[in-house]
């Protein structure tokens, strides 16, 4: 089967399992996930969906997210959108009824763990539906669409740096530099456009206001006793300017007569927001951006291993709480200022801990072919930084292995943080990828070879620490007695209610 037919077949298999086109309200994708807005989530046949070979897992959030992995997700999304449009244009059938729940399944199979993972996702979704976390999610929605361009330009920048250091192709490297830098030079415009779109304004007006931040002639403007610099305030200034523009635009829509709205509202929006941006927001956002850069440098220069230990160990709990989205503007600000973010390689160690934990679970449960099969299918995506299948399908439902996996991430983060403290910055020129997929985006202050070596060693530390912690501390005797049996084997001799109760109390 050709690649195109394979992705079309995957999309065709997914559509009826999410209730058909009539149940789909929106379609989008990020680096690894197909994100669907659904009218009725009870129509989703999750068990059949996660059984599809191309589906690595599902995540329930404000959208229903199907993990397909990098590369494949963009192609499947395109085919999925075409199928939805075709079904709506024709005579769509009634949405498929949800599959009947399976009968009493064995409590130690991968299916049981998947069910527990789904329950934990639902609980997390309810817990994360606070105003502050919903606001963070909207901020993330502004930056997530920019990730593909950040990755592409970041890889080109890395390639160009390598060619410059080697003295190769001197006639080509200036062109590569222009290609790599063009997007970053105008990223404020895209942030402004997405901000206005996310908060209910006219996107092009948000882009127009944000473009002031990067306009070269702002150097002629004086604010707070000093001349402004093009790009001062960066993405934070663009974000604030566009938010203000949305507010002004909405106020104008209320009182401007419809007969002159098309003339007055855009003019007032750009004028008022533009003046506020030039004589206030750019300066203030510039100060905040400088503070973020200085704080990150200070944290790793003085905290080093301790800071890496906390960041690497707590990142996955932050993801569970929905607070990780606050890091996206910080990453982008660091990339805009220094050319790379020193935080992402440390946070990527959390995934290494999950991989090490999964390997330990695989060895500790030799008789449980169901869980071992799940680990085998999810392990390679985990190496590439796609951790959801391992987290929601294995470690989190088991409880203790999730904690020991976080310990592995903490040790890996401490290792990378220690080298930052010793003066070897390990950074990423883009956000999004993790694990092995981050290698092409690495950058630092001591040459690419040393940067890659430190990051690779950090991953190895995370793998080993996650493995050791999980192998020795990830299971109690009761858990092993319950879990280390074949799916079709009889239940352990101990009374089932006691075993179940003890297992529940083990969970995080």
Known catalytic residues are 30
- Token pair belonging to 103: 């009968």
Q: How far is Cα 147 from Cα 385, in angstroms, rounded to an integer?
A: 15
Tell me which DSSP letter residue 226 carries. E
Q: Exposure string (b/e) for 489-504, b if CB count within 10 Å is 16 or more? A: eeebeeeeeebeeebe
Q: How far is Cα 155 from Cα 158, in angstroms, rounded to an integer?
A: 5
Please return the burial class of 155, using the count of CB atoms within 10 Å of its CB with bins 0-12, 13-18 and 19+. Answer: middle
Q: How far is Cα 179 from Cα 171, in angstroms, rounded to an integer?
A: 14
- Token pair belonging to 99: 């599959």
Q: How far is Cα 6 from Cα 117, in angstroms, rounded to an integer?
A: 28
Residues linked to residue 101 through DSSP beta bridges, in sequence order: none
Q: How far is Cα 344 from Cα 234, in angstroms, rounded to an integer?
A: 19
Closest CA to 377 of 456, 369, 402: 369
Residues linked to residue 58 through DSSP beta bridges, in sequence order: 66
Confirm if 474 and 388 have CB atoms less than 8 A apart. Answer: no
Start-end of H helices in 256-281: 258-276
Residues linked to residue 59 through DSSP beta bridges, in sequence order: 65
Tell me whether strands 64-67 and 57-60 are parallel, antiparallel or unpaired.
Answer: antiparallel
Q: Please tell me the chain's helix, strand, coil percentages from 3-state DSSP, rounded to the nearest 5.
A: 70, 5, 25
CA angle 374, 379, 381 (to 5 degrees): 115
User: Any idea which residue has 């352990």 for tokens?
Assistant: 492
Closest CA to 113 of 392, 319, 363: 392
Please return the burial class of 47, using the count of CB atoms within 10 Å of its CB with bins 0-12, 13-18 and 19+. Answer: middle
The DSSP secondary structure of 9-49, one letter per residue, reads HHHHHHHHHTT-GGGEEEEEE-SSEEEEEES-GGG--HHHH
């Amino acid at each position: 089967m050709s690649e195109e037919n394979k992705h079309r077949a995957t999309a065709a298999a997914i559509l009826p399992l999410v209730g058909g086109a009539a149940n789909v309200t929106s379609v989008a994708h990020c680096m690894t996930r197909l994100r669907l807005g659904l009218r009725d989530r009870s129509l989703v046949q999750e068990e059949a969906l996660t059984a599809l070979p191309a589906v690595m897992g599902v995540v329930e959030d404000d959208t229903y997210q199907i993990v397909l992995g990098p590369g494949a997700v963009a192609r499947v999304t395109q085919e999925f959108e075409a199928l939805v449009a075709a079904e709506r244009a024709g005579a769509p059938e009634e949405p498929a009824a949800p599959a009947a729940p399976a009968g009493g399944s064995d409590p130690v199979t991968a299916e049981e763990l998947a069910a527990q993972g789904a329950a934990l996702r639902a609980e997390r979704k309810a817990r994360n539906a606070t105003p502050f976390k919903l606001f963070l999610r909207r901020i993330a929605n502004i930056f997530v669409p920019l990730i593909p361009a950040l990755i592409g330009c970041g890889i080109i920048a890395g390639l160009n740096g390598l060619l410059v250091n080697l003295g190769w192709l001197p006639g080509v490297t200036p062109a590569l530099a222009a290609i790599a830098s063009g997007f970053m030079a105008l990223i404020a415009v895209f942030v402004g456009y997405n901000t206005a779109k996310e908060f209910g304004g006219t996107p092009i007006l948000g882009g127009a206001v944000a473009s002031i931040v990067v306009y070269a002639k702002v150097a002629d403007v004086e604010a707070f006793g000093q001349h402004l610099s093009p790009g001062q305030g960066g993405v934070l200034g663009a974000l604030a300017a566009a938010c203000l523009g949305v507010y002004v635009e909405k106020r104008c829509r209320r009182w401007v007569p419809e007969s002159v709205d098309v003339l007055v509202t855009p003019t007032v929006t750009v004028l008022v927001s533009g003046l506020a941006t030039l004589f206030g927001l750019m300066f203030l956002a510039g100060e905040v951006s400088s503070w973020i850069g200085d704080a990150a440098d200070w944290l790793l220069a003085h905290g080093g291993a301790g800071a890496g230990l906390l960041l690497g160990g707590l990142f996955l709990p932050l993801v569970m709480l929905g607070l990780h989205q606050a890091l996206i503007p910080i990453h982008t600000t660091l990339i805009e200022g220094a050319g790379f973010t020193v935080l992402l390689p440390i946070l990527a160690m959390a995934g290494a801990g999950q991989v090490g934990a999964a390997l330990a679970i695989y060895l500790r449960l030799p008789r449980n072919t169901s869980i071992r099969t799940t680990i085998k299918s999810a392990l390679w995506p985990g190496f590439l930084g796609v951790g959801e299948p391992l987290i929601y399908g294995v470690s989190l439902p088991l409880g203790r292995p999730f904690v020991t996996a976080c310990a592995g991430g903490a040790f890996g983060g401490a290792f990378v943080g220690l080298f930052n403290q010793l003066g070897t910055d390990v950074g990423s020129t883009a956000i999004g990828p993790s694990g092995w997929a981050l290698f092409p985006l690495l950058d630092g202050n001591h040459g690419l070879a040393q940067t890659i070596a430190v990051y690779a060693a950090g991953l190895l530390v995370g793998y080993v620490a996650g493995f050791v912690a999980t192998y020795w501390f990830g299971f109690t005797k009761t858990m092993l007695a319950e879990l280390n049996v074949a799916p079709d084997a009889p239940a352990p001799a101990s009374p089932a209610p006691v075993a179940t109760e003890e297992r529940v109390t083990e969970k995080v």
